[in-house]
Chains A and B, each alone.
Chain A
Amino acid sequence: MANITVTIDGKQLSAAPGETILKIARDAGIQIPTLCHNEKISRTTSCFVCVVKDIKSGRFLPSCSACPADGGEYESSSAEVSDMRRSALDLLLSEHNGDCEAPCTIACPAHADVEAYVRAGRDGDFLKSLQIIKTRIPLPMSIGRVCPRFCEVDCRKNITAGEGGAVCINDFKRLAADLHYEEYMEELPELNGKKVAIIGAGPAGLGTAYYLRMQGFASVIYEKMPKPGGMLRYGIPEYRLPKDILDKELNHFNKLGIEILCNQELGKDVTLDELKKDFDAVAITVGCWKPSSMRTEGEELAAPGIEWLEKIARNGWKGKNPGRTIVVGGGNTAMDCLRTSVRLGSDNVQCFYRRTEKEMPAEDIEILEAKEEGVIFNFLTAPVSLRQGENGLILTCRKMELGEPDASGRRRPVPIEGSDYEVEADTVIAAIGQKTAIPDATIPANRWGDVEADKISQQVNDNIFAAGDCISGAATVVEGVAGAFRVANSIAAYLADIDPTTVHADPINVSRGHWRNMAIDDLVFLRNDISDEPRVEFDFLPPAERKHTMDEVSRTLTKENMMKEGERCIECSCTSRDECKLKEHSESYGAKPDAIKGEKIKAGYDNRHPSIIHDRMKCIKCGICVKICKEVVNENLLSIKQRGFSAKVEAAFGQPLPDSCSECGECIEKCPVGALDWKIKK
């Protein structure tokens, strides 16, 4: 038969009669997304992601089945067609009951592939673990010690092992780095000749330098302090992060050829104008070093927390006994001041915080350890004024009660009139927050006084970028390196003449939900041999001992312990995370998991086969597996059952798949969403 003429997206094409619109389009290089289509099997047509519009009739046609008439005109790339495709994808996402990424990875500000490095550790390969960690965590020795463990807060092990039973994730970083950091070396790309100046050698600056180097950019870090490290060195006390460990961490940056110039303060030793000219780009990573005011009378008599810590740090974490010490504030810096005071010999250390323990921003472990070390906590107490008395400083305090929640969601403290009382102390430390000291007048500030930068690219202006605390306000080390990752990619794009706002992946993430809203039955277990052992216990110096020493409070856990701990991981992420066609098409059409809300699939999963998991809650009912098994493998093991939203694919009579399926895997290979997949993740 003679060929027919078809027009798709304005392109006139010649095709054999009986060919589908999809085939004709693809042969002509016109991309049409599909989920349920597979060349090996008879036409299915269920997903409707491949729709095109028949211009003559105005109807939408599934291009995988529709064969055009001679002279037919179709459009595949119009807004209307995209809207239809996006709606199909939105609907599929709305019922999709899975997890693209594990909750730990989503919770991690740096988006570290937690599951993968825990798995490598479980298998005893901590070098591989370190490699995975380093792609997102350039300071594993430090972060492995001081991270507040966002990942563990969201770990689903909190359901099966009870709250607090999360996999001890951070210690994988610590152990992997302690074991292998000195011998570890990245494969470095050739330098590309472009150079970036970085202001500040704290976590964000170091991270920026690292990620730039990994993309072939050289950088010079200008640090105003005598030594690099920023808060790691001058804020976080020795007993939490020993400085010899930090030196080891920083030594790696030397090995990477990253130049760090100390005692170089912007505005004094070097100017921004010079750097802008001498370098291809500048990254501002100066952190938050300006103490916030207590706004009380006589506050000049109090030592600002970070300045107090910095002084002791500069003195090698030594100093004289501060005597009766009062620390005002409830964050980690306050805890650091309290516990450092204990270690400097004070036996009367008190914390004053205006809300209750529940609202305290400090990490729970810090509060607990401070208590163990004898610190006395006074909650719902705010400072009113400070004055010099005969036998020391006199702090007037006022009792508070909690009122309505404020903008932060925490309940606002309200003063109780007439509740004032006085406390005497030798040292009063105000650790109530930090702000950014913007180092150059040409750098714009935002309404909180931090550096104003584009939310996505972190570009300030021209070739100036910024990252870390100086744009976000005081945060954590891991958030600092997360910002570094972003800004390095922005700078790399900028220097390649690409709009830096366009290079940041915005992957969709489907989630089964937060563990607090889930029950054990909502979890999917790849295997039944996931360890039910309780969480590994930390190895701490006993309180009585650690009160008198700056030695590190916790010790690195053993390899054996951590391998066992790895057995506890449920491996929540999707087995098909990197190959999922639903995810791929959703991202290219802007479909979102929460665009349409409604009930999720509740069809359960089947892990009875020794090597295959059938997670029906991710199934899109395309039926490829059913047809592959029947038409290609000639086995006919699977069929679709039930109707409507409850439709599901299952083997006859709910039987498990036979063991022999291990040798085939055709359905697994063709499943577009990983509903049928191997249990073992690569």
Chain B
Amino acid sequence: MSNRIKKIKVGMASCGIAAGADELYKILEANGNGIPLEEVGCIGHCYAEPLIEVETDAGSIFYSVTDTKQATIDNIFNLGEASRFGISEIRAAKENVKITRLCGRISPTDIDEYIANGGYEALQKAQAMSSAEVIDEVKISGLRGRGGGGFPTGMKWGFMASKEADEKIIICNADEGDPGAFMDRSVMESVPHQLIEGMLIAAYATGSNKLFIYCRAEYPLAIKNLKIAIDQAYERKLNVINGKPLEIIIKEGAGAFVCGEETALIASLEGKRGMPRFRPPFPTDKGWNDFPSMINNVETFANVPVILAEGGAEYAKIGTEGSKGTKLFALAGDLENPGLIEVPMGITLAEIVFDIGGADRDSVKAVQTGGPSGGCIPVELFDTPVDYDSLKSLGAIMGSGGMIVIGQNRCMVETARYFLDFTHRESCGKCTFCRVGTKRMFETLERITAGAGEIADINFLEDMGTKVRSGSLCGLGQTAPNPVLATLCYFKDEYLSHIENRQCEALECPALVDVEIKQDKCIKCKLCIKNCPVNAVSDDFVIDNTLCTRCNSCIEVCPKDTIFRCKKGDGYYSG
């Protein structure tokens, strides 16, 4: 065979491992007759995991290996056509893979591979410049904080550089807490050196001498890869800035969402309970142990080597007026291709959701940006360009990059309830409005979805939502009402329907639906009867909605899809 396999790269970030890459790796190893295997990170196409890249003399071929049958394995070694993986042209045209260029393409634990691909050149380049020049480059690039705040990074670096103190601290916020968001994890697992390089450039530019990475403990692989990368960087003395070796310390967070907020993060880093405080003073004035401290997010730091490498002006060519560069998004929800994407700022929501995500145009109702504290944007507004300011003007936020596609079959009141369930539990409990206000809003949403809402509840949600926003110290409370206020803004009719008609149009809220079997298509297989946990299906295939708990077991098990949720009152009730 003329086309020789040089190497097989197995995507073994957490997403790959979760899909079975671990086992696949072993099988490939056993069957590979010595073909070199390499563990790499994630290329972002989570929906196709486990993914492997077969490097041949004629270039790379990707396979999506969803089973480990011998035929499948043989097909790979024979470079067969089956289960090959490719990116659609339309997607390839819309994406702009810069920051994650090396994700899944190199070994995260091999510094040489990183260096071979241009790694640490930016650090060298930076050190050849004055620190002020470095900051200028970042300013010119227009980079804004990728953690959600969107504060101009260069400006923050400028503040930090101007501080005089015995110790100056750089903190990387890797406490990626939004459910469904995994941009930072992917970067840390796949290209940990890129983060370290960005942090070291920041340290050089701002004259800082101590570096922390505050990473959530739920990311063991990221922490492992970072530790290896830090040791390797130490070995190569890459951490020696201006002649002084800088310490890079990983601090594992204990899982509190609020610790992603910078003042709470610092408190946690100091060994205190993670609770935010009033700003000012800002961390750059008084941060970790009262030393000037600058906090940037993982993705922000990961942008820095790219900016230094290509120059701020080049970097700023991509994006919109107020938002430059590319942005990582974790796509999830009701769409074909969930995963990590990198797109230029200014791309429209429609392009992301339909062209890249492959969602069905007719079945999408909205998209939730900014995670549980973001807001939803209805499909009618999908022409909106994705940048900090446009999203904010719609009542949503850019956030750190979580993007959840909400299908027509989802209830928006339930969606708001779901997000608030998360945020109200994660409040640190300090601010009255956040601790009690979100709890009361959550309870109100519970009532509405249970069919016990009142019209006054809507006024309460609007009033309290606004107050929680303005009566909370940190981003958690300030944004927690967003899902409620945004759904009230765009989907008030759904709230009204729950309250006035006691109906859930999306047929999602269990208290407001019935379940029935369409008799004409039923094949009387009795699977529904066997699987019903409460014996609500009669021998003649009628569901008694007085007994039914709306658990969906019958719907899921029906081989002919003859069982449906229907409007409350349309189903059969005994007695």
Contact = CB atoms under 8 A, between A and B. Distances in A.
B256 to A, nearest CB: 7
B277 A45 contact: yes
A623 B429 CA distance: 10
Contacts of A598: 436, 439-440, 443
Interface string B267-311: 000000101011010000000000000000000000000000000
B433 A91 contact: yes
A645 B471 contact: no
Interface string B25-63: 000000000000000000000000000000000000000
B430 A621 contact: yes
A119 B305 CA distance: 75
B448 to A, nearest CB: 14
Contact of B278 (A66, A84, A642, A646): A66
Nearest to B257: A643
Contacts of B318: none
A596 B440 contact: yes
B256, B426, B471, most chain A CB atoms within 10 A = B471
B363 interface: no
Contact of A59 (B427, B437, B467, B470): B470
B4 interface: no
A544 B326 CA distance: 99
B358 to A, nearest CB: 37
Given A45-B278, A639-B273, A644 B433 contact: no
A88 interface: yes
B432 A645 contact: no
B424 interface: yes
A645 B428 CA distance: 9
Interface string A581-621: 00000000000000010110000000000000000000011
Chain A interface main SS type = loop
A647 B429 contact: yes
Contacts of B470: 59-60, 84
Contacts of B436: 91-92, 94-95, 598, 645
Most B CB contacts (10 A, CB to CB) among A87, A621, A642 go to A87
Contacts of B471: 48, 51, 60, 84, 87-88
Contacts of A596: 440, 460
B407 to A, nearest CB: 29
A644 B435 contact: yes
Contacts of B428: 643-644, 647
B356 to A, nearest CB: 35
Contact of B429 (A45, A49, A640): A640
Interface in B93-123: none
Interface in A53-76: 59-60, 62, 65-67
Contacts of A46: 430-432, 473
Contacts of A47: 432
B50 to A, nearest CB: 36
B425 interface: yes
Contacts of A88: 432-433, 471
Interface string A33-56: 000000000010111110100000
B458 interface: no
Given A644-B427, A644-B435, A87 B464 contact: yes
A568 to B, nearest CB: 35
Contacts of A84: 467, 470-471
Interface in B246-274: 256, 258, 273
A569 B397 CA distance: 56
Contacts of A647: 427-430, 435
A116 B64 CA distance: 78
A48 B275 contact: no
Interface in B448-462: 460
Contacts of A646: 429
Nearest to A620: B432
Contacts of B427: 643-645, 647
Contacts of A62: 278, 473
Among B277, B429, B437, B460, the one with the most A-chain Cβ atoms within 10 Å of its Cβ is B429
Contacts of A640: 273, 275, 429-430
B232 to A, nearest CB: 37
Nearest to B258: A643
B411 to A, nearest CB: 22
Contacts of B430: 45-46, 621, 623, 640, 647
Given A91-B432, A639-B273, A43 B278 contact: yes
A312 B299 CA distance: 96
B256 A643 contact: yes
Nearest to A95: B436
Nearest to B469: A60
A645 B429 contact: yes
Given A48-B433, A596-B440, A644-B439, A87 B256 contact: no
A620 B258 CA distance: 19
B382 to A, nearest CB: 31
Contacts of A645: 424-425, 427, 429, 435-436, 439
A640 B274 CA distance: 10
A287 to B, nearest CB: 43
B516 to A, nearest CB: 35
Nearest to B277: A45
Nearest to B477: A48
B439 A92 contact: no
A256 to B, nearest CB: 49
A643 B429 contact: yes
A59 B473 CA distance: 12
A621 B258 CA distance: 17
Contacts of B277: 43, 45, 65
Contacts of A65: 277-278
Interface in A631-675: 639-640, 642-647
A353 B238 CA distance: 99
Contacts of A45: 277-278, 430-431, 473
B278 A621 contact: no
Nearest to B440: A598
Nearest to B437: A91
B443 A599 contact: yes
Nearest to B433: A48
B110 to A, nearest CB: 40
Contacts of B256: 643
Contacts of A66: 278
Nearest to A640: B273
A48 B435 CA distance: 12
A67 B278 CA distance: 10
A87 B463 CA distance: 10
Interface string A221-253: 000000000000000000000000000000000
A88 B433 CA distance: 6
A225 to B, nearest CB: 54
Contacts of A642: 429
B570 to A, nearest CB: 32
Nearest to A49: B432
A48 B431 contact: yes
Contacts of A49: 432
A336 B432 CA distance: 56
B426 A644 contact: yes
Contacts of B432: 46-49, 88, 91-92, 620
B426 A67 contact: no
Name the residue among B280, B440, B464 with the largest chain A CB count within 10 angstroms: B440
Given A640-B430, A644-B424, A645-B424, 6 more contacts: A59-B470, A87-B433, A87-B464, A643-B427, A644-B429, A645-B429
Closest 9 CB pairs of A and B: A647-B429, A65-B278, A91-B436, A645-B439, A46-B430, A644-B425, A644-B427, A60-B470, A48-B471
27 contacts: A43-B277, A46-B430, A46-B432, A48-B432, A48-B433, A48-B471, A51-B471, A60-B471, A62-B473, A65-B277, A65-B278, A66-B278, A84-B470, A87-B464, A88-B433, A91-B433, A91-B437, A95-B436, A596-B440, A598-B440, A621-B435, A643-B427, A643-B428, A643-B429, A644-B438, A645-B439, A647-B435
